[in-house]
């Protein structure tokens, strides 16, 4: 499972993290409820294509992507949601739809919603539908170097 790859990466970079095991859950809101985390405090990863290139978008679980705002942020005119079949092979060590927001480990750009930067910690899927990881947002930002922008629906 990818958790090992991610945990090794975090350990090598001196990051303190916590693993949260929960009952199987598949939607961001189900995961938040199962793990007893507020939906706005759980980061969900959404895969999009910008001009055909896979890009990872990370936002609070309680929010939705505003695609016009994302077009403005990326400068791409063709920005669309990716289907699971389109990105599943990009994350061979993850369960479908449970990839962690570390696009840098998979060679892709990461965009983070401005709202997430307001939190001290970030919690996210750790590659499975039964485990989350929580760590300091500052560590996440330092390692991933995401592009921070406003692109959630108001």
Give the pLDDT score at 1.
42
- pLDDT tens for each residue of 117-151: 998 999 999 999 999 999 999 999 999 999 999 99
Give the pLDDT score at 65.
96
Give the pLDDT score at 88.
86
- pLDDT tens for each residue of 25-84: 888 888 888 888 887 789 999 999 999 999 999 999 989 999 999 999 999 999 999 998
Closest CA to 56 of 26, 17, 24, 97: 97
- pLDDT tens for each residue of 9-28: 999 999 999 999 999 988 88
- Three-class secondary structure of residue 14 per DSSP: coil
Rg over alpha carbons for the chain, rounded to the nearest Å, is: 14
- Taking the C-alpha atoms of residue 124 and residue 60, their distance in angstroms, rounded to an integer, is 10
Give the pLDDT score at 39.
75
pTM: 0.92
Give the pLDDT score at 66.
96
Cβ atoms of 41 and 123 within 8 Å: the answer is yes
């Amino acid at each position: 499972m990818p958790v090992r790859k991610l945990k090794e990466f975090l350990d090598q970079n001196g990051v303190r993290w916590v693993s949260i095991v929960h009952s199987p859950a598949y939607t961001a809101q189900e995961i938040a409820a199962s793990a007893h985390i507020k939906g706005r405090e759980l980061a969900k990863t959404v895969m999009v294509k910008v001009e055909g290139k896979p890009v990872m978008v990370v936002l609070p679980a309680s929010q939705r992507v505003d695609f016009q705002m994302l077009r403005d942020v990326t400068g791409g005119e063709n920005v669309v949601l990716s289907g699971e079949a389109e990105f599943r092979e990009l994350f061979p060590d993850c369960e479908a739809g449970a990839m962690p927001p570390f696009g840098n480990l998979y060679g892709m750009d990461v965009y983070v919603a401005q709202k997430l930067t307001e939190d001290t910690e970030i919690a996210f899927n750790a590659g499975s539908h039964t485990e989350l990881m929580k760590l300091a947002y500052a560590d996440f930002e330092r390692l991933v170097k995401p592009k921070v922008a406003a692109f959630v629906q108001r």
